Amino acid sequence: MAKYLFEFKQLIKIGVPIFGSQLSYTLMGATDTIIAGRASANDLAGLAVGTAFSNTIWFFFTGIIFAVTPIVAQLYGAKKFLEIGQKLREIIWVAAGLGLLMAFIFYNMDIIIELLPIKNSITSVTIGYLKAVSIGWFFVTIFTCLRCYSEGMTFTKPVFYIAFSGMLLNIPLDLIFVYGWFGAPKLGGIGCGIATSIVSFIMMISIFVYINYSKNYKRTEPFSRFTLPSLKTTKEVFKLGLPIGLGIFIELSMFSGAAIILSVLGEIVVASHSVAISIASLFFMVPLAIGLASSTRVGNLIGEKNPYQAKIAATSTILLCISGALLNSIIIISFGSFIVGLYTTEVPVLELAISLILFAAIFQLPDGIQMGALGSLRGYKDTFIPMILLMISYWIFAMPIGYYLTNFGFGTPLGAKGMWFGMIIGLTIFSFLSIFRLKWVVKNQIKKISTNNFSDFAAN
């Protein structure tokens, strides 16, 4: 029990700043939405289309960069500090390449957007926003690389301080460029893109300077010398990170697909579903932070060649995620009507969203379990099989079942509730599969390290 309590403390210590960072990123997006929405409905719509495109692409690319955390975490546990610095310098080249590719894609997204059946007044804002934010995503990609490097060594507080400061800075910059304050041009939703790029640049420089001068990172000598790109390291990053990126894309596609399936049922159903999803996603940040903390903690312990404690850490992660999910569910059920009321005042939307909030509460448990298992598996550098399990759970089960229940049900179409049944079934399947996968990986890791230790002992 003492070992489990110790791991709970470690996960909370690492995870609380990560939760703060994730909340800061979310609030940045919320600030953009609120300020652009008060400028005009057209600016809000243009921004919404722009973020829908950029976020999907961004989450795929950022998944690749998430490979930095387990790579650094295992090296940090093994006390290979100089190798961490070497890896970071090599991976920054990968991040820069991905960042430039994203910037190029966003800047030229007008080629695709102009083909969509959307009003020109909206697409002009969308195109302007994407061009303005394109360079910002390059800065964010470098920041994410440095952030994962820091978090892999358990230094999560500096990332939180910078992310929180960036969120605060984003507010006045949005006001200046959206509304044209202090002599700046009045750009509407496009101004959010400029604000994001400026904040992203400042955050990138801030974390670079902090890492360079803080004594916490001195042992790794991150910027002590110039290092050329490494094909070996690049392959390692893509081997680990590409499945993470694809996994995030698969998960996002489930939510996007759900919205598309429900879109034929009318705006009230779509709006109610969006409110329920937004609430579920907001509460999901708790298990998300725990899962990301587990990636670091488990990676550190594997690097230390301590597979038994890594097993305890992985189990502790699942238990902590279950506890957090149950607490989230209780809060959602108890205050569901009030929370929904913060999102909408339209009675038809309000009533349907309140009926869906029970599903959002149930949603928390399998979602929390899968995030805990997924985070721990990343700590073991196991990412490919989880991606396959995600594909099976979401594309083969969740989406088809949700579509069938929504439109046909059991003699009577279930509407939006049918889609939620499908998503919950898919998540439940994945939570079981991910737990089985984690148990298999843990068992194999213990066997592998024990065998290596015995071989080393016999050789000596």
Each domain of the chain, given as residue ranges in start order, spans: 15-225, 230-450
List the structure tokens of 201. 């640049």
pLDDT greater than 90 at residue 58: no
Arithmetic mean of pLDDT over the chain:
89
Q: How does residue 452 score in pLDDT terms, banded at 50, 70 and 90?
A: low
Q: Is the pTM of the predicted complex or chain greater than 0.75? A: yes
Kindly report which listed range (53-67, 90-104, 423-437) carries the lowest average pLDDT score: 53-67
Q: How does residue 116 score in pLDDT terms, banded at 50, 70 and 90?
A: confident
pLDDT tens-digit readout, 370-417: 999 999 999 999 999 999 999 999 999 999 999 999 999 888 888 888
What Rg do the C-alpha atoms of the chain give, in angstroms? 23
Which whole number is the average pLDDT over 71-78?
95
Q: How far is CA 361 from CA 257, 330, 368, 375, 429, in A?
A: 21, 7, 11, 22, 17
Handedness of CA 55, 290, 77, 374 (dihedral sign): negative
Q: How does residue 337 score in pLDDT terms, banded at 50, 70 and 90?
A: confident
Q: How many CB atoms lie within 10 A of CB 162?
A: 23
Which whole number is the average pLDDT over 190-210?
94
DSSP E strand boundaries for 309-403: none
Q: Which residue has the tokens 């910002």?
A: 136
Q: Which of 280, 272, 262 is nearest to 362 (CA)?
A: 280
Burial class (CB in 10 A: 0-12, 13-18, 19+), 49: buried
Which whole number is the average pLDDT over 112-134?
84
Q: How many CB atoms lie within 10 A of CB 334?
A: 11
pLDDT greater than 70 at residue 459: no
pLDDT tens-digit readout, 158-173: 999 999 999 999 999 9
Q: How does residue 254 score in pLDDT terms, banded at 50, 70 and 90?
A: confident
Of 112 and 436, the structure prediction assigns the larger pLDDT to 436
Q: How does residue 455 score in pLDDT terms, banded at 50, 70 and 90?
A: low
Of 52 and 245, the structure prediction assigns the larger pLDDT to 245
Q: How many CB atoms lie within 10 A of CB 201?
A: 17
pLDDT greater than 80 at residue 447: yes
Helix (H, G, I), strand (E, B) or coil at 419: helix
Q: Which of 113, 105, 110 is nearest to 141 (CA)?
A: 105
CA distance 312 to 300: 13
pLDDT greater than 90 at residue 456: no
pLDDT greater than 80 at residue 151: yes
Which whole number is the average pLDDT over 205-231?
93
Residue 396 is given by DSSP the state I
CA distance 212 to 10: 26
Q: What is the end-to-end Cα distance of the chain in Å, rounded?
A: 35
